[in-house]
C-alpha cells in the first residue's frame, strides 16, 4: 500500500522536486545515475507506468485521492509516498492550477543507443536544436500518431522528459523510442554535419525540411521510394544548419499559399509525417 500523507506545510523538503527544483536539477537528481522527471495528469501517468517507468512519489488533490482516478493510480504505485492537499495549497506549491490535479515524480530510464532506436525503424524524425519544450512535445505527439518509428534529438534540443514537453505530448514520449545523438554525430557548424552520414551508415536516406530554392515538394514521388527515411527538422526561427542540409539526400519544403513562407516546426512536422510516413 502507498503511504498517504496530508500536506499543510508547502515548505517541506519532500516537495522540493515538485516546487523548487529546476528541470536540470531533477534530471541529475541521482547523479551519476539517471534522475527524475514529472508526469502530470492521470492519462500521462498511466502511460508512463505502462511503459515501465517507476514512480518515486505522487502529489495530488485530496479529493482526487479519494476518487476513482486517484485510487486507481495509487493502487498502481504501491510503496511510495503519496502527498495530498487541498487545491489552494497545491496551487501555492506549483504556482498554477494542476492539470487534472495530479503530479507523479518518476525515475528516468537509461536511454537507448541510436542503433537501438533505428534497428527496426522505417521512418524516423531527427530534431536539430528544437529548443521549445512545447514544440518538442507536439512533435512527439504527431510522430506517435502518424507512423514515425523513432526520434533522434541533438543535445541543443529540449529534453522530451521536461514537464511541459511530457504534458503537451499527452504521454506519447513514453510510447515512441527516442534518444540523443552524440555531439560528434551532430556537427559543430564549422564542418560537414554528421547527421546525414551517421544515418546513411544505418541504412537511411535523409530528407531535410528547409526553405530553399532547390527544395523539392513534399509531394514529390521520389520521397515515397526510400525503404528507410529520416525526416530532419530544424530549430525554431533559423531552421536547419546549412551543413546539415548539405549532408542530407533530399531538401524538402511544404508548398505554401497566400504568401505564407513557413509553418511552425511542430505544425510542419505533422504535415511531413502524414505525407512521408507512408511506406513503399
pLDDT (tens digit, 9 = 90+) per residue, 37-54? 999 989 999 999 999 999
Parallel/antiparallel/unpaired status of strands 55-61 and 123-127: unpaired
Chain position carrying cell 504505485? 77
Strand partners, 205: 229
C-alpha cell at 179: 534518444
Half-sphere exposure of 46 (CA within 13 A, CB side): 10
Q: In angstroms, rounded to a whole number, what is the distance separating the alpha carbons of residues 52 and 42?
A: 16
CA 225/CA 46 separation, integer angstroms:
38
Is the distance from CB of 80 to CB of 56 less than 8 angstroms? yes
pLDDT, residue 94, reads 59
Range of 54-58, 214-218, 224-228 with top mean pLDDT: 54-58
Average pLDDT, the chain: 89
Cα angle value 140/273/256 (rounded, 5°):
115
Question: Residue 186 — pLDDT band, cuts 50, 70, 90?
Answer: low
Pairwise CA distance, residues 111 & 124, whole Å: 17
- Supply the pLDDT for residue 98: 53
| pLDDT higher than 90, residue 166 | yes
**Which of 112, 118, 128, 121 lies closest to 277 in space, CA to CA?**
121
Residues 6+ apart with CB under 8 A from 135: 158, 236, 264, 265, 266
Over residues 87-91, mean pLDDT: 77
Which three cell numbers mark 176?
515512441
Amino acid at each position: 500500500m502507498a503511504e498517504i500523507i496530508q500536506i499543510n506545510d508547502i515548505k517541506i523538503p519532500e516537495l522540493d522536486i515538485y516546487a523548487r527544483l529546476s528541470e536540470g536539477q531533477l534530471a541529475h537528481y541521482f547523479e551519476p545515475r539517471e534522475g527524475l522527471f514529472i508526469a502530470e495528469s492521470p492519462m500521462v501517468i498511466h502511460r508512463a507506468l505502462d511503459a515501465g517507468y517507476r514512480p518515486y512519489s505522487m502529489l495530488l488533490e485530496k479529493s482526487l485521492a479519494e476518487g476513482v482516478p486517484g485510487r486507481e493510480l495509487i493502487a498502481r504505485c504501491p510503496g511510495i509516498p503519496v502527498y495530498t492537499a487541498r487545491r489552494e495549497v497545491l496551487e501555492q506549491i506549483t504556482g498554477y492550477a494542476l492539470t487534472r490535479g495530479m503530479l507523479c515524480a518518476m525515475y528516468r530510464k537509461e536511454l537507448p543507443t541510436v542503433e537501438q532506436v533505428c534497428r527496426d525503424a522505417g521512418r524516423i524524425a531527427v530534431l536539430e536544436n528544437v529548443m521549445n519544450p512545447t514544440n518538442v512535445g507536439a512533435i512527439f505527439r504527431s510522430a506517435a500518431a502518424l507512423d514515425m518509428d523513432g526520434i533522434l534529438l541533438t543535445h541543443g534540443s529540449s529534453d522530451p522528459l521536461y514537464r511541459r514537453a511530457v504534458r503537451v505530448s499527452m504521454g506519447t514520449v513514453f510510447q515512441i523510442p527516442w534518444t540523443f545523438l552524440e555531439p560528434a554525430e551532430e556537427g559543430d557548424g564549422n564542418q560537414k554535419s554528421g547527421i546525414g552520414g551517421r544515418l546513411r551508415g544505418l541504412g537511411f536516406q535523409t530528407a531535410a525540411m528547409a526553405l530553399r530554392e532547390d527544395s523539392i515538394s513534399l509531394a514529390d514521388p521520389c520521397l515515397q521510394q526510400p525503404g528507410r527515411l529520416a525526416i530532419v527538422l530544424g530549430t525554431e526561427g533559423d531552421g536547419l544548419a546549412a551543413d546539415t542540409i548539405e549532408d542530407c539526400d533530399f531538401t524538402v519544403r511544404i508548398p505554401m499559399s497566400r504568401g505564407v513562407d513557413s509553418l511552425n516546426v511542430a505544425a510542419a512536422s505533422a504535415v511531413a509525417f502524414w505525407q512521408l510516413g507512408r511506406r513503399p
